[in-house]
Structures are given as structure tokens and as C-alpha cells.
Amino acid sequence: MKVLVADKISPKGVAYLRQQPGFEVVEAYGSSPEKILELVKDVHAIIVRSETQITAKVFNAAPKLKVVGRAGVGVDNVDVEAATEHGVVVMNTPAGNTIATAELTFTHILCGARPVPQAAASMKVGQWDRKTFSGIELFRKTLGIVGLGRIGSEVAKRAQAFGMRVLAFDPYLAPSRAKAMQVENVALDDLLRQSDYITVHMPLTDDTKYMIDEAALEKCKKGVRLFNCARGGIIKETALLAALKSGRVAAAGLDVFEDEPLAKDSEFRSLPNVVLTPHLGASTAEAQESVGIEIAEQIADVLNRGVIRNAVNVPSIDAATMKALGPYLDLGAKLGTLVQQIAPAQVAQLRVTFWGKLVDLDTNSVTRAIERGYLRRISGEEVNFVNAPVLLERLGVRAEVVKSTDDSGYTELIQVEAITPDGAVISASGTLIGKANERRIVSINGREVEVVADGKLLVLENIDQPGMVGTIGTILGKANVNIADMSLSRLTPGGTAYMVVRVDTEPSDIARREIKNHPAIKMAKFVQL
């Protein structure tokens, strides 16, 4: 088995691979894209960090490739879709940099309170300026943490040790979990208004991009201090620049940027009240050693025994089970992400029910696929089939699996229900149709529908009145959005009806607003499967 280590990892990780019988290890740090294409022709595994890009061209050039391992959390530099098409497992090491990033974040917070880097720089050039570099204390100040996952939780512990009041905004965090951590879970607007310091710890998704923009900064205290060691783009850089210049933001600490590396002429470089680091979140000896050894062990497990851990594109199951359950894994993931997108942010329980021949199968991997689908837009690249249950537990969401022997009306059926703290239930059910095992959604919130579980959907609840189909068609037509298919459902004439419209392209914001503002529309959700 030939393993290409394309980016430098811990020597202990490389040594572990070399100790494996039958392994040939090639270290090729800093190789050009052309050189990588040449090297991968006969490799079985590739290990990268963040430098080397594993593109579709790489997968096309590597017929023997079985697994790509990323020594770190993200897989931004790996074309996961191309990997899946080529049957290549993509794995990461999601927990290895937790402490390193939390400690760097708190270092930035301390430097935002006491301008140590600026004072140190002045001393280096012979100055003795005590007045300019006066700071403030953390004690009894309020820290707002946006996103209370692994890293955000560790930052909270450190802030509490400094005597800070900790507010958290995490719409998916259950009140019981917040209470156990001794943090106050509040709305984002309340966090912005009350916090003296704000740090963000969310994945970069459609929902979190520019979460902190001009409007958000206007709600903050004058003199707030802002920090980002998570992902560039959560804080809108142009808005932050303007706020730093105006004094609304007193100081900032940034380890990540919208475009990396940061441009040499970036205005951030010239501002005295900003501390910048070049994406050092995971750059500690301990973190690098941990992820280097961890990814080496995972690669060896895949190649030696077919055991898959921390996979981002396939479940951690053997080949025989994969063949039997493969179609259900995909259906389950899509049901999970559908329910998450139509449910409220805060959910207390996720219940999965299986009917038919699924009752007699080991459906643990299907359940994991559903949980991963549910978390995909919440936890981003961190979630995989191994850690999905843990991430749900951290959010305070209780998972339940039911295997029912009742007659569902289908040969096999999967239902996913999200139950809110006040008992409201949001659900979707799906099955497989025909010899091709086509994935179909057959009910949403108890209403019978029939739509292919793929692509982009508009899920609408409306007053059952004449002309609604034409109205929706006209709005989408004006927005140049083509309808692929449509399913209609109602319980009684003149009551409420459901309309599920599968579209080829995403409707514009104007079209969405027009649909949502129509007086007959009671609920409108755009869902991407």
C-alpha cells in the first residue's frame, strides 16, 4: 500500500505509517499541482493538511486511491463530491485542535483588553510609552460567545475562570445544556447589546456568513471588542473595518479572513487596534502531533482492515452492510436535512421511526446518516457519521429510534420527527420506489405528498383557495425559475393545503419575499437537499 504524505504532519504520524507491514510512504511536501498529479498515479492513500488541493483532477489521475485523510478539522481543500463519485473515503480529525483554538481565542481576547503586542513592538524600537497602551480588565465584563460547540465551550470555561459573565447565542443549544455550563443562552440581538467582548465559533454556512455585519455592529455597545478564530466570512470585514475606524469597535483580534492569505495591502494591517495572526488556530506542537498521529492511525485502519472512522462522505460501516443499506443512507440524510430546514431552530428531540423490512436490519448507520443530515447546516464540516450523536447531545437534543410493526402502507418507510421543547412536531417521511430505488418524500408534517428527494424544494402551506398554483408558478416564472415537478395535498376543501415545488434553481430574494408576503401563504420554506 502506497501512502502519499503531501503536507507536513507530525513525524510520529509518518513513523507510525512506516511501521505498518507492506506500507510504502512517500513524503512530498510543497509539491506543485502538476507534481501531485504525477505522484498519485499509484497511491492508495493521501494525507494533507490545508496546503495541497485534492481536486477532481487528482481523483481522475489516481485509480488506486481509497482514502484521503485531512490532518485537521476542515476539508475545504478536498473535492468531497469528486471523492464520493470515485468511491474514495474522505476523513478528518475533528477534535485535535479544540484546545489549541480555544487558547488562541483567549489569547486574542487578552490582547484585545491589554494591547501587549503593540506595547511590545514599541519597546523594540526604544520607546517607553505607558499612557498609550493602557488597557481594561476582563473581570466582571461580559463575554458573548456566538456558537457554543466544542471550541466555544472551552472558551466559556476560560472566561469563567477570569470572572467574566458569559452569554451564548446558539439557537440549537437546549436550555438544560446552557444551565449545566453556567452560561446564559440569549438571542443574538441581546448578546450584541450586552457584551463587552464578542467571539464567534460557528462553521461558515449560508446561515452564518456575514452574521456579524453592519446592522449587527450597530446594535453593539460602543467600544465592544470583537474576535474571530473560527472561519473568515462570519464577520463581514468591510463592516468591521468601518467600525474599527469609527470607534464603535474598540479592538479586534483576527486569525481567519475572507480571503487567505490576507492581502499585503489590507487595511487591517495598518490599524493600531487590531491584532492579526495568520490562521494559527491549530498551530501548536500538541495539536499538530495529535492530528498527525490520529490521521495516520485512521489511514492505517482503512487500508489494513477496512475500518472507517471520522468519515465525512461515507458511514463507518463495512462493505456488505453498505451494499444493503446504501440507498437508505442517502434517503435518511435527505430527510434529516429537510426536517432541520423546516423546523424551528431549537429542538428537544429527534425521533426516527422505521417500518417494514427495515425493522429487521441494523439501521444504526441509517440513523447516523439522518443525524448527520440534520446537523449538516448547523455544524458544517465538523459533523460526520461518527460524531453526529455526540454533537446532537451537546445541543441538548435527545435522539430516539423506534422500529414499528404497524402497517405504514409501504414496504419500507422512514419517518424523521423534530420535537420542540413545547411539544410541537415537525416531520417528513420517505421511501424507495422501483428497481432503481428512487428516493421519494411521501409526507411532510403529516400531509401526503410525493416528490423526488433531490435538489431544491419550496415547501408551502397555504389557504386552499383557487389560483394558488398559478400564483406560485407566475412568481417563479418572473424570477426565471423553472419548476421540475410539484405535489399538492389537502385534508379538506377550503382548509389549508400543502404545496411542494421542486425547482431547478434557487428563487431570488425578491421572489421568496413575494411568496412569503402573499396573504394566503401561511408557511414558506426553501429547502436544499
Catalytic residues: 231, 260, 279
User: Would you say 167 and 186 are in contact if contact means Cβ atoms under 8 Å apart?
Assistant: yes
At 29 the three-state DSSP class reads coil
The Cα 501–Cα 77 span in angstroms is 34
Closest CA to 229 of 199, 192, 273, 258: 199
Under 8 Å between Cβ of 144 and 199: yes
Q: How many CB atoms lie within 10 A of CB 123?
A: 12
Residue 136's region, left for phi above 0, alpha for psi from -120 to 50, else beta, is beta
Tell me the C-alpha to C-alpha distance, in Å, between residue 498 and each of 213, 446, 462, 495. Answer: 35, 10, 6, 10
What letter would DSSP give residue 504?
S
Closest to 268 measured CA to CA, from 277, 33, 415, 106 = 277
What gap in Å lies between CA 228 and CA 252, rounded to an integer?
Answer: 8
Neighbours of 443 (CB within 10 A): 18
- Nearest-10 crossing angle of helices 116-124, 98-113: 70
Helix 285-305 vs helix 98-113: crossing angle, to nearest 10? 160
Within 10 Å of residue 510's Cβ, how many Cβ atoms? 11
Instruction: Report the alpha-carbon distance of residue 393 to residue 169 in Å, rounded.
Output: 17
Nearest of 21, 231, 251, 245 to residue 117 by alpha carbon: 251
Please tell me the distance from the alpha carbon of residue 336 to that of residue 103, in angstroms, as a whole number: 34
Alpha-carbon span 191 to 207, nearest angstrom: 18
Residue 351 to residue 328: CA distance in whole angstroms: 16
Give residues with Cβ within 8 angstroms of 418, minimum separation 6.
Answer: 339, 340, 343, 347, 349, 350, 374, 425, 426, 427
- Residue 482, classified by CB atoms within 10 Å of its CB into exposed (0-12), middle (13-18) or buried (19+), is exposed
Q: How far apart are CA 51 and CA 35, in angstroms?
A: 14
CA distance 383 to 63: 28
